[in-house]
Structure formats: C-alpha cells, structure tokens
Structure 1
Amino acid sequence: MGKEVNRKKADRISDLPDSILTHILSFLSTNEAVRTSILSTRWRYLFALLPNLHFDLEDVLRRKNFNIHRGVKYLDLNIYLDKFITLPDVLFTCRTLVSLKVDKDFVLDVPRGVVHLPNLNTLHLESVKFLNDDSIKNLLSGCSNLEDMILKQCYMENISKFNISHQLLKRLTIDYLYDGYHSYFKYLDSIKARYSIEYLQSLVKADIYLFKTNYTLQGGATTLFRGICNVPSLILWVTSLELLLSCKPLPVFATFFKLKIPCYDLFREYSYIRGGKGLETLLSSLPALEKLEFSQEVLCFLPENVPSCLLYKLKAIKITNFTDEKHCIGKAKYFLKNGGALQKLTILTAPDVSVEKQLKISNVLSASPRESKQLCILIV
C-alpha cells in the first residue's frame, strides 16, 4: 500500500487535466507523443487528442502501406521525394475526410468511379502533376459536397483540356504565381490549356489575371470567361482586359453588379492593351453593373452610345490614378453627365498630384452638369 501511495505521489503529471497534458505533448514530435501511450492506461489515448499530427510518410508511401481509415478529417500531405509518386487509392475513399491538402511531388492519377469523398469540403492541390485530362474530372465526380478548391503551381504539361464542373463549388483558385491574394475564384496564369469552367452557379466572386504568351491557345480565354459570366462580382486585372475584349462574341455578364480593375504595376501592365479597345467596350456587356472601380487609363474612349448600366444602374464609381489633365477630367464629366443613378463618385489622384491640383479638379467637377441630384463627389 505504501509503495502505491508513493508511486502516485511521484506521478503527479498523470493527474493533470487532459488539456494540459495534450499541450505538453504538442511540443513533442508525433512519434514521441504516440510512444507515451505505453506509459499507462492514463496515457494510452492522449496523443489522439492532439490538434495536429505530423507524420513522415515517405517510407510508408513507398511501401504502399498507407491507411487513413481512422476517422481522419483533416489531412495535409507535404512530402519531398526524388521523383513523382502516385497517390494511394485509399486516399480517395475516406468518408470522414473534410479537408485535404496535397503538396509536392505527387501524380494525380484517378481512375473513373473510384473516388468517394462524401464529406470533403476543401481540396488544396499544390505542385501536383496531372496525369491526363480526366485527372480533375474523375476526382470531382466523387466529391459531392466540395465548396473550396485551390490549384496552385500545378504541372499542366499533360493537359490539353482542363474541365471543372461542380454545382456546389463556391471558391475556386487557379494560381500559377506566388502572391498573397485570396479570393473566391482566382485565376493567375497564361492560357496554356483549354479551360472549361461549368456549372459553378454558387460562385459569388471571381479574380482573373490572364496574360498572353507564345503558348496562349486561341479560344481558351473565351471558354474561361463564359464559365464565370454568372458571378456577381469580378476583379479583372488589366492584363486580362485585352483577352476578354478579344472574345467573339463578347460574353454578356448579366448578373454582374460589381467590377474592379486593379493595377499594381501600371506602366508594365498597360503595355498589354492593344487595338484601341478598353473598358468602354466592356460596359455594354454589363447591364446590371452597380459598382465600378478602375484606373483612368483603362477607359480609352468615351462611348457615343451611353451604356445602359451608366444610365440606370451604376451607383458608385471609383477612378484611380487620376490627374488634372484634360482627358482625365473629361472622363469624369462623362460619368457625371450620364450617370442617372449615380450616388457617389470617388477620385483617387495620382501620387504626383498636389493639393492645389486636387482643388482645381474639385472646382471643375463641382461646376459640371450632372444627371443625378443625389450625387456626392469625393477627391483624395
């Protein structure tokens, strides 16, 4: 009896609450944390309460002895190998999996009808190699509840047609560049394959950054833009504008209410605009547009036929990189004269515009005719 009492006094750590013990285990490697399960019945299952488990799966995968059928919900595979390795089939039949991230040196080879991931909500594929055109199609066919999908830095050499079709998908990122932006549908790449974006009715926002290369496929941009023409909000980078305006026929974005055309490197990006067409051409395809933000260079000409969105729908306009030059002021006057529903016009002046010049712009625009009686002009 005395020895038992002394043993309990010596093992005070085991008497601590689970929350404290798991916090202690979190400082150990996963292998070391699992080894504590042999200490006593008190420690047998504590490691399973850890919020994050980190495994060295390289040897396991090479032996094809990979098993996640233990109620796994969140799985992040990040393994550096000497060569690409095919993902194990068991990975595609885990009913409990909610989030899957696969990063580095894997080949996505998914036979048709094999995938059954009914609870998968988030799929993140980074630096993964697609075996063929059906790689993504077969994978998505078994992900009935997928809402968030990210494809980043993936290898597209074997792809000629890239089809994405999913009715519940809300956030889609196709990112071939490293940056810090995040949005619902984001595409940063050249058109290297014939992308087909279909049945994405749940998308609420798109962010498109396309650029031309020698490998740009004719018609690739058209299918991409047609696939997102029903989203209500669009971020369209300047480099994408020429490709969109080259689509024949130009898609009609009937449900767009918000359009933003940012530019992080103005002089480089505007070198892509050719053919004398700019924002004015696109406005005719945006009948429901209510909010518009753009750099003043994007508007190449003032349309003779006023777009219907400006006459009846546009409520807020923000023009950036504005100067006191005549052509800039003329563009602002055009919106004032024709904006029947316009409530706010915001002018963000270029960095070299002085306070005196800002005051000059304000005086000119304040004295200009305006269609809307409820309009507020803000110049900063």
Structure 2
Amino acid sequence: MRKIAVVDRISDLPESLLCHILSFLPTKEAVATSLLSSRWKLLWTLVPKLDLDSENINTLPDDDDEKCDIMFANIVSRVLAQQQCGELQSFRLQWQFGWDGSHLDAWLRTVAARKVKELYLDIHIGYSYDDVENLKLPPIFFSFRTLVVLKLSGDIDIDIDIDIDIDVDVDTPALSFHFPSLKILHLLNIHLAEDSFLRLLCGCPILEDLSFTSEHLEGQYKICVPLLKRLCILETEFNDSDYELEICAPALEYFNFDGYLRDIKFHENLDNLVQAGVYISTFEVEDEHEECFSKRVFRLFAALNNVKFLSFSPSGIEWHSIANIYPSAFQNLVQLEFKVVDRNWHLLGDLLQKAPNLESLVISKGYDFIPSNLCWKEPKYEPEYLSSLTSFYYRGFKGLNDEVEFVKYILKGARVLKTATIQFYKGESKESVPEKLSVFPRPATTCLLRDE
C-alpha cells in the first residue's frame, strides 16, 4: 500500500516534471514505468531522451546472436515509432551487432527528422564475427544540421569517397560533412583516414571541443578549427605507427595529450591557453632517435609556454638522457602538477627554474619497475624562483633520501608558503611520520606543515 501511495503522490506532479525525471533513466526502465498506472502508460513516449543498450535489452535465454540482433532491432524501431515528443534532445545507442547493421540507416533518418541535438553511438561487432568489416555510417549521417554534441566509439568507419567535379585547394577539400551546429565532437577508436578527418573538421565551422584516440592514425593529419577551445588526444598502446599532426587552433584554452609522443606542430601562438595536461610515455629510444624525440618535446612545450595550469607526467625508461626540453620561462604558470620518478627528477628541477610566478606545486611520486640510481640534486644557487609559492603538496612520500632532500629544498626556498602537505605512501608506517617531518625546516611562521 505504501508503494502505491508513493506512486500516486509522484503521479500528482506536473507532466513536464515527470518527463524530466524519466529522462534520467535508460529507455528500458522508462518504458517499464508504463505498468504503474494509466497515466504513466504513454508518459515515456514524451521523454526527449532515448538511451538504448543491446546488452541490457537482449534477454533471450538461448543466447542466439542472430535472434538477439533481430529482437533488439525490432525494439529500437518500435521505440522510435512510438516516441511522440516533437524534438529529440539526445539519442544514445550502445549496440553490439553481429550479422546485420543495416537498421542504422532507418534509425538515423528518424532521429534526424526529430532534430536531435545530441547523438551518441557506441557500436561494436560481436566477438564471433571477426570477419565482419567495421560498420560504415549511412549517408544521412553526414549532414545532421541540428547536432550540437556527437560522440562516436567502437567499430565504426566514417571514411567516405566523394567524386569531386571541380578543382579545389588541397588544404581546403570539398565539404563532405555538414554539421553547422556541432560544438562537441568525441571520437574513440574510430577509423579515420587523413582526407576524411580533414573533411569532417571542415564541416564543423563552430566546433569548440574535440577529443579523439589515435589507435588507427597513420600518415599526416591536420586540425584547423578557428573556434576550438578544448583539444584532447589519447595515444593507445596498440598504435605503433608514426604520424604527423598539424594544429591550427588559435582560440585553444585547454590541451591534453596522453601517450607516445608523435610529431605535433602548432601553427599559431596559443595566447588563450589556460590549462594543459601532458602525459608522455617513452618507449626505448635508440641513440639516433634521441635527438628527434627531444626536439618533439621541446616544440610541444614551446607551444604551451603561456599556460597557467600544467600537469606533466613524463613516464617510461629513457627520460634520464633527455634534457633541455623547456624553451623559455613559463611566466604565466601558477599551478604545476608533476609526477616524478627516479629518472625524471632533473626535468622537474629545470621546470621549477622556469616558473618564476608559481603559486601551487603538487608532486605525485611514482616508482619505476627498473631500479635507478638517479635522485634529486639540489642546485648550487638559492631557489629564488620559489618566491611566489604558497601551496605545496607531496603525494606518495616514502621518506627516501631524494624525497627528503627535495622537500627540505622546497620548504627552505618558499618564503611565503602557507600550507605544505605530505601524503605518505600507502602501507608506510605512521609511526615514522613525526621523525621524518621533524627534519623539515619551517619556511615561515604562518606555514602549516601536515601529514596525511
């Protein structure tokens, strides 16, 4: 009786509010509410968001892949046919298909007619269908005039071949895509050829947020997006090919790179850059390639030298031989997060010397699988470049000699430091905390030195 009373009380809410509540549920659960009462029967059809997942909807006991495909396709088609809202806010499709992906054409035509604003496609080929090619998106996909957000992931191929009847500049190919309203574009493990990638971006004139993984990239790629504010590039461990990436994004405010560093060139000064994350892994760099790798890192930081908030994690085994990667002072840098291992202490020291206005320093200690005798070495001169530092945080402190010497050096040089926090490595005995902290000098009477 109590459950019925609660349902009745909720049912008294305005229809618009009920639809808003249902929009937070996957479509399967939203449809299930039609059993609650006559008022709820068609309420889900008014919800402007559809979220359909083949893994959650297919419940056939005999685990017949072909029957599951047919059942899911029928369900999606019926849901779209019964959906009664005038315009769709979002359509999310998570689909593991096997033998037939042809239904996607009709589904995309339907959501395009509903002027969908957000489209999420996460499509994968079943494990038992290794010989099936990536799903090629139908022609209707290439011109979604109302889309504001587009996120694609999985076994999708958006490469298209267009017959061009007129001569065009190589750098400004014919527009094969037309997304005049698109502001956010995320591509996860999508197959992209150079020409298709450039055409795609040219078809997004007001794009502000671009994120992609580069598992399938090989060759030369260009990102020329005048209004782009966020750019995230993730290198996967499966991509062992080299590629070149040219970037022209003068409005960029946020940049993130994670993976093995490729040949990246910025063609505009990033005067608007606020935040950057650089997480570079090194494979075993041979002697003849060491200079080339150093130049790539140097060129990347030259483009980022206006950044205010920087997170840098140089991991891998070859950083001990890499030097002089910072081209000039980071005059605007106020916050630095750095992951230090035995092999990159020198990179941290060099960067601190080039950040005269640094206010916040966060150090995370990593531990190499390969032992190294490299450690922190205190510069011979006074650390005047720490004169603006007010906050210091050290994560993963074990009390090793290089760690102790580094923390002592920071506390000695940071004259206006307000808080210094030492977070001990998990498993480190708390009994040793007072003894290890007692060796640290107090840089100022107002500084709070604490452990976590």
- Report the TM-score, using the length of structure 1 for normalisation: 0.72
- Match status 1:99 vs 2:160: no
Distance 1:85 1:253, change over 3 A: farther
| Greater RCO (CA < 8 Å, at least 6 residues apart) | 1
Structure 2: 5+ residue runs without aligned partners? 1-36, 52-56, 58-73, 126-131, 162-171, 238-253, 367-373
**Secondary structure of the structure 2 residue equivalent to 1:30:** helix
- Counterparts in 2 of 1:150 and 1:107: CA distance versus 1, 3 Å: same
Q: Which residue of 2 aligns with 1:33?
A: 79
Aligned to 2:260: 190
Q: CA RMSD in A?
A: 4.1
Q: How does 1:290-369 map to 2 (within 5 A)?
A: 290-295=359-364, 300-311=376-387, 313-324=388-399, 326-351=401-426, 353-365=428-440, 368=441
Shift of 1:314: 1.0
Which residue is equivalent to 1:10? none
Do the aligned residues in 1 keep the contact of 2:158 with 2:196 (CA within 8 Å)? Answer: no
CA deviation profile, 1:278-332 (whole Å, cap 9, x unmatched): 3111112222211111146897211223444302x11111123334455433322
Structure 2 equivalent of residue 173 of structure 1: 232
Distance across 1 between alignment mates of 2:135 and 2:409: 59
The 1:364–1:100 alpha-carbon spacing in structure 2 relative to 1, beyond 3 Å, is: same
CA separation of 1:77 and 1:287: change in aligned 2, threshold 3 A:
same
Residue segments in structure 1 that go unaligned for 5+ positions in a row: 1-12, 38-44, 179-183, 264-268
Q: Which residue of 1 aligns with 2:7?
A: none
1:374 corresponds in structure 2 to 446
1:327–1:98: structure 2 CA closer, same or farther, 3 Å change rule?
A: closer
Matched, 1:239 2:315: yes
Q: Is the 8 A contact 1:30 1:53 kept in 2?
A: no
Counterpart of 1:125 in structure 2 is 187
Distance 1:332 1:120, change over 3 A: same
Under a length normalisation based on structure 2, what TM-score does the superposition of the two structures give?
0.62
Letter in 2 for 1:292: L
User: Which amino acid is the alignment partner of residue 350 of structure 2?
Assistant: T
Q: What secondary structure does 1:334 align onto?
A: helix
Moved more, 113-122 or 169-178: 169-178
For 2:206, give the aligned amino acid: N
Aligned length: 340
Q: Tell me how far 1:206 sits from its aligned partner.
A: 2.2
1:209 counterpart = 2:268:
no
Quote how far apart the aligned CAs of 1:375 are. Answer: 1.6
Residue-by-residue CA offset, 1:153-195 (whole Å, 9 max, x unaligned)? 53112x24x44344543332212349xxxxx533221124445
CA separation in 2, counterparts of 1:353 and 1:379? 12
Confirm or deny: 8 A CA contact 1:206 1:231 kept in the other structure: yes
Judged with a 3 Å threshold, the aligned counterparts in structure 2 of structure 1 residues 172 and 307 are, in CA distance, closer, same or farther, namely farther
1:7 alignment partner in structure 2: none
